[in-house]
Amino acid sequence: MGEQSPVLEMAGIRKVFPGVVALDGVDFRLFPGEVHALMGENGAGKSTLIKVLTGVYEIDGGEIKLGGAPVRISGPLQAQQAGVSTVYQEVNLCTNLSVAENIFIGREPRKFGRIQWGKMRRRAAELLTRLDLDLDVSAPLSSYSLAIQQMVAIARAIDIEARVLILDEPTSSLDTSEVEQLFRIMRRLKESGVAILFVSHFLDQIYEISDRLTVLRNGQLIGEYKTAEMPQVQLVEKMIGKELAALEDLEDKAQRNRERAAEAKPVLEAKGLGRTGAIAPYDLTIHAGEVVGLAGLLGSGRTELARLLFGADKADQGEIHLDGKPATLRDPQAAMKRGIAFSSENRRTEGIIGDLSVRENIILALQASRGWTRPIPRKKQDEIVDKYIKALQIRPADPERPVRNLSGGNQQKVLLARWLITEPKLLIIDEPTRGIDVGAKAEIQKLVAELSDGGMAVLFVSAELEEVLRLSHKIEVLRDRRLVEELENTAGVDADRIMQTIASGATS
Amino acid sequence: MTTASMTPVTKGPELNKRRRVYKPNAKYIPILATLGLLAIMYITGIANYDNFGDPSVFVNLFRDNAVLLVVAVGMTFVIITGGIDLSVGAVISLTTVLTATLLKGDWPPLVVLPAVLILGALIGAGQGAVIHFFKVEPFIATLAGLFLARGLALFINQQSIPIRNETWSAISDYRIELADGVVTKPNAIIAVLVVIIAAAVLAWTRFGRNVYAIGGSSDSALLMGLPVGRTRIVVYTISGFCAALGGVLYSINSTSGHALQGNGYELDAIAACVIGGVLLTGGAGYVWGTLLGVMVAGLITTIINFQGDLNAAWTRIVVGVLLFVFIVMQRLVTRKAK
């Protein structure tokens, strides 16, 4: 492979935003038929590099060569014409249009200026069959899951006859089998000579699929390595730039607190709680100072279970006891009043308000619980916000910066801060670490552990089993919208054990 | 994970099928509802009034609502992109005043006609450019356009200007016999042509599909490499052109020009779109729906005329109620789709 000439070469790329150097002299190359992982923490410059490559940003310095010839990419359309297609983390398709249209829009087959719908649908169906997808191509894209939408985005990208395919965190919303399917497609494309740039926060995935990797840190190139010759720990060190003691530190903590947690009072008890079509009736008890993890595949009902406890969806059967007394949670406001906080999995759409500042975002829930007639004095706001920016190490530590400009991990911290200042008895966090980098992940996990040490009950929802295992005192396993088993997180419980439970669907 | 092989997979994973939520033609629900409503109104009319079933009653709907229909078609493009055009009523008045003034000054009709149509298109293009290049909310940009066009119309002449031009009068008096005893006017034919052309453009051209894509998500459309800016400007240009064409039809109808003609048409056009199932948030809707929306409004007026003793204000009241109903329905349909 090394003998081949690269299809893409970027040399000395520099990109400056007002006040920030996002990329500083970064080199990057991509060979045909390889999967090349771009690694780095949030804010390291990965997204900027990709946006430069796709023509969303123009570079302030450096050179881009495609197939040996220097190019200037001035827009997404141009990038596509040059053979560079991109699939973004958030599916960037139009869900109101049909599957076929989403694949072909802008390149519809035409005759005398008229779109040939029949031909378009046929070609779309053929293309999807090649990717092992069996979809109704004339159905609107919105009728399919995010995972399928992601695959459709890839179908669109490869139909452009891409020489370079950029996959920017395509797996963050996929479950294991869907990831496998994606990897199959990637391998097939690789065989046909497409160069794939792959970004993912899941190290396992990087090691499974990539041939080579490039590490960025703070907008600078750290190096290019062969994946097989780079041990995981070393890679993480290169990304973070310091040794990662935080993670190991956590391991035993869950064990240590188990006895205490079991003796504590139950904060919340759900008895036969359920909602038709969303989650089958379940029993669940959460004690003070306990971390309860929810494990299960995407769509297994993790979020649905949690939403019932917050009153975000209404249960149609069963009851909830809070502090031993029966309670009805008609809506989230009622739940908030009773000391339950819920940090949503969709931080972009349901949590963070991008145009408001860090301060305003943090203060939001507290203000809401006080009612708008009693505004929190500005001085008090600043005090609280400063405290949490320090405590959670939110970067940049500027309370007046619009949250939109923060990286994913820091947005997540802002969201957590918002709920923490309401001092909840029970904190429900849904996928707090999705799409954020290793360093921020560890910090958030550490925070969860500290909160539970401090006596807070936490319901922790995550697609990553390792994370659930590391933090939880007990683990609720879900499958097909049903709580199938409760596991005490003792020494014998590991990812395999949980996978088995999910696979068999019942107590083994 | 290590056993993942390169062997081709013959059958798609079942998860695709399992996740599929089949919604039979959810996108047609609003338009079908309007069609049903129209049918009910029509049947009620036939049942209650003599001669209501006469074909000319139906055909006259097109004649009487030609201006609104043309303007609403332009509005449909704009609303599908997720925008709004408040300037169309004012562009109608500017067009009628300008047409009447120019014709009075003995300009040849063959110069006046293209001149006012081009002016309308330019006003639209200007608004589109402001919206696109300066990222101004369509509501604000076209509100400015409204004041500008209405102000210009009033500046030219505050009085009603009669049109005595022969060509205009000839078109105004021209009758087309569709069938025995069923006659219509050129205005109706032009309006129907506009509907057909617009429907074809939206369904069968790249431009038309881009309009829908932008309404679905303009960020995504941009990243998919679609010409978002150009499309948006063209959409407002179409709306401005349609408004000017509506103004021409208005001047033919009334054989006069007045700065208050077309007052409030922007709101009638928006109402017709919404009743016809065009989603105000963009991304969904059909010109056929808009046609039905205009027909509904027209039929209400017709029924009131047949009744004879009802106040004309009832048209507005009923349209108001329908708007509420349809907006709530849109909400429910989109929520279900989510």
Question: What's the mean pLDDT in A158-182?
Answer: 81
| Most confident segment among A216-220, B151-155, B178-182 | B151-155
SS3 string, chain B, reads CCCCCCCCCCCCCHHHHHHCCCCCCHHHHHHHHHHHHHHHHHHHHHHHCCCCCCHHHHHHHHHHCHHHHHHHHHHHHHHHCCCCCCCHHHHHHHHHHHHHHHHHCCCCHHHHHHHHHHHHHHHHHHHHHHHHHCCCCHHHHHHHHHHHHHHHHHHHCCCCEECCCHHHHHHHHCCEEEECCEEECHHHHHHHHHHHHHHHHHHHCHHHHHHHHHHHCHHHHHHCCCCHHHHHHHHHHHHHHHHHHHHHHHHHHHCEECCCCCCCHHHHHHHHHHHCCCCCCCCCCCHHHHHHHHHHHHHHHHHHHHHCCCCCHHHHHHHHHHHHHHHHHHHHHHHHHC
Q: Is residue B110 part of a domain?
A: yes
B-contacting residues of A 228-247, CB under 8 Å?
A: none
Percent of chain A residues past pLDDT 70, beyond the cut:
91
Q: Which residue has the tokens 């005192």?
A: A473
Minimum mean pLDDT range among A89-98, A197-206, A313-322, A499-508: A499-508
Q: B224–A93: do the CB atoms touch at under 8 Å? A: yes
pLDDT the model gives residue A257: 53
Cα gap A140→A152, rounded to integer Å = 12
CATH of the domain at B226: 1.10.3470
- Average pLDDT over chain A reads 83
Average pLDDT over residues A7-22: 85
Distance in Å from the first CA to the final CA of chain A? 47
Average confidence (pLDDT) over A427-452:
81
The reply to whether B237 touches chain A by the CB within 8 Å rule is no
Q: Tell me the shortest Cα–Cα distance from A121 to chain B, in angstroms.
A: 14
Q: Quick check: A347 and A433 in contact, CB under 8 A?
A: no
Beta partners for A402? A357
Q: What is the extent of the structural domain holding B270?
A: 28-41+54-337
Q: How far is B324 from chain A (nearest CA, A)?
A: 23
Domain assignments of chain A as residue spans, ordered by start: 8-241, 244-339+425-508, 348-423
Inter-chain touch A86–B223, beta carbons under 8 Å = yes
Report residue B10's pLDDT band, with 50, 70 and 90 as the boundaries.
very low
Whether the pLDDT of residue B193 is over 80: the answer is yes
Report the pLDDT averaged over residues B88-113.
95
Of the pLDDT bands very low, low, confident and very high (cuts 50, 70, 90), residue A255 is low
Higher pLDDT, A435 or A174: A174
| Mean pLDDT across A417-431 | 87
Closest CB to A184: pick one of B9, B212, B215: B9
Q: B213 in contact with A at a CB cutoff of 8 Å?
A: yes
CB contact under 8 Å between A77 and B227, yes or no, is: yes
Q: pLDDT over 90 for what percent of chain A? A: 16
- In chain B, which among 3-32 make CB contacts under 8 A with chain A? 4, 6, 9, 11-13, 15-17, 19-23, 26-27
The single-letter DSSP state of residue A90 is S
Contacts of B227 in chain A (CB under 8 A): 77
Share of chain B above pLDDT 70, in %: 91
Choice between A138 and A497, residue whose per-residue pLDDT is larger: A138
Query: What mean pLDDT comes out for the span A314-318?
Result: 86
Distance CA A144, CA A152 (A): 10
At A77 the pLDDT is: 80
Taking contacts as CB-CB distances below 8 angstroms, the residues of chain B near A140 are 26-27, 337
Split at pLDDT 50, 70, 90, the class of B70 is: very high
Query: What is the pLDDT, as a whole number, of residue A381?
Result: 87
Give me the mean pLDDT over the A284-310 stretch: 85
Question: Which of B26, B205, B225 lies closest to A77 in CB terms?
Answer: B225
For B36, B64, B81, the CA distances from B289, given in Å and listed in that order, are 12, 18, 16
Within 10 A of A261 (CB to CB), how many other CB atoms are there? 21
User: B335 at the A interface (CB within 8 A)?
Assistant: no
| Strand, helix or coil for residue A309 | helix
Q: pLDDT by residue (tens digit) across A336-362?
A: 888 888 887 766 666 778 888 888 888
Query: How close does chain A come to B33, measured CA to CA in Å?
Result: 20
Residue B38 is predicted with a pLDDT of 92
- Cross-chain residue pair B20–A135, CB shorter than 8 Å: yes
The fraction of chain B above a pLDDT of 90, given in percent, is 70
Determine the residue among A96, A182, A499 to mutate to test chain B binding: the one whose Cβ has the most chain B Cβ atoms within 10 Å.
Answer: A96
Residue of chain B nearest A80, judged by CA positions = B225
Residue of A nearest to B10 (CA): A132
List, for residues A183-197, the tens digit of each pLDDT value: 888 898 888 888 999
Domains A8-241 and A244-339+425-508 share a fold: yes
The reply to whether residue B284 touches residue A96, judged by beta carbons under 8 angstroms, is yes
- Residue A27 main-chain phi, psi, to 5 deg: -105, 145
Q: Is the pLDDT of residue B25 over 70?
A: no
pLDDT tens-digit profile of A222-253?
A: 999 999 998 877 887 787 665 445 455 555 54
Is A106 close to B210, i.e. CB distance below 8 A? yes
With beta carbons less than 8 A apart as the criterion, state whether B240 and B119 touch: no
CA dihedral B28, B29, B33, B39 (to 10 degrees): 40
The angle formed by the CA atoms of residues A207, A212 and A214, to the nearest 5 degrees, is 105
A231 preceded by cis ω (within 30°)?
A: no
The answer to whether residue A369 scores a pLDDT higher than 80 is: no
A220-226 sheet: strands from edge to edge: A84-87, A164-168, A195-199, A35-39, A212-217, A220-226
User: What pLDDT shows up at residue B15?
Assistant: 42
Tell me the C-alpha distance between B175 and A463, whole Å.
71
In DSSP terms, A457 is beta-bridged to: A426
For A380-480, strand residue ranges (E) read 426-430, 457-461, 474-479
Which 3 state secondary structure label does DSSP give A123?
helix
Q: What is the pLDDT of residue B8?
A: 38
CB contact (8 A) between residue A96 and residue B283: yes
Position B137, amino acid: E
CATH number given to A8-241 = 3.40.50.300
Q: Which of A216, A371, A179 is nearest to B15 (CA)?
A: A179
User: Does the distance separating the beta carbons of A105 and B213 come in below 8 Å?
Assistant: yes
Average pLDDT of A126-130? 87
The pLDDT value given to residue A347 = 66
Dihedral sign from CA coordinates of A178, A184, A190, A194:
negative
Q: Nearest-CA residue of chain B relative to A90? A: B220
Closest-CA residue in chain B for A115? B204
What pLDDT does residue B241 have? 98
Q: Say what the pLDDT of residue A376 is.
A: 85
Examine residue B20 and state whether it is found in any structural domain, yes or no.
Answer: no
> A244-339+425-508 maps to which CATH number?
3.40.50.300
Query: What's the pLDDT at B6?
Result: 38
Q: At A259, is the pLDDT very low, low, confident or very high (cuts 50, 70, 90)?
A: low
**What pLDDT shows up at residue B83?**
96
pLDDT in tens, B105-146: 999 999 999 999 999 999 999 999 999 999 999 999 999 999
Contacts of B26 in chain A (CB under 8 A): 140
Residue A51's identity, in one-letter code, is K
A108 vs B209, B225, B337: nearest CB: B209
A93/B22 touch (CB, cutoff 8 Å), yes or no: no
Indicate if the pLDDT at residue A437 is higher than 90: no
Q: In this predicted structure, what is the pLDDT of residue B1? A: 37
How far is Cα B307 from Cα A304, in angstroms, rounded to an integer? 55
- Name the 3-class secondary structure at A29: strand
Mean pLDDT, chain B, whole residue set: 88
| Residue pLDDT, tens place only, A64-112 | 998 888 988 888 888 888 888 888 877 788 989 999 999 999 888 999 8
Pairing mode of beta strands A266-275, A69-71 = unpaired
Q: What confidence score (pLDDT) does residue A496 get?
A: 76
Q: Tell me, what's the pLDDT at A349?
A: 66
Are β-strands A35-39 and A195-199 bridged in parallel, bridged antiparallel, or unpaired? Answer: parallel
Q: Which region holds residue B270: left if phi is over 0, alpha if psi is between -120 and 50, else beta?
A: alpha
CA–CA separation, B95 and B119 (whole Å): 8
Q: Do B15 and A86 touch (CB under 8 A)?
A: no
Which residue reads 């719908």 in tokens? Answer: A117
HSE toward the beta carbon, residue B232, CA cutoff 13 A: 29
Cβ atoms A132, A141 nearer than 8 A: no
CA angle B304, B308, B311 (to 5 degrees): 60
Total number of domains in chain B = 1
Residue B223 touches chain A, beta carbons under 8 Å? yes
> How far apart, in Å, are the Cα atoms of A360 and each of A89, A263, A377, A378, A504?
27, 38, 12, 11, 46
CA dihedral B234, B235, B236, B238 (to 10 degrees): 80
CA distances to A506, B45, B192 from B202, rounded to whole Å, are: 53, 33, 15
Which candidate in B5, B10, B197, B206 is best for mutational testing of the A interface (most A CBs within 10 A)?
A: B206
Interface check for B308 against chain A (CB to CB < 8 A): the answer is no
Contact of B1 with chain A, judged by CB distance below 8 Å, is answered with yes
Do residues A81 and A74 make contact, with C-beta atoms less than 8 angstroms apart? no
Residues of chain B contacting A148 with CB distance shorter than 8 Å: 16, 19
**How high is the pLDDT of residue A137?**
93
Band of pLDDT at residue A168, cut at 50, 70 and 90: confident
Cβ neighbours of A108 in B, within 8 Å: 206, 209
Pick from A47, A80, A101, A92: nearest CA to A158: A80
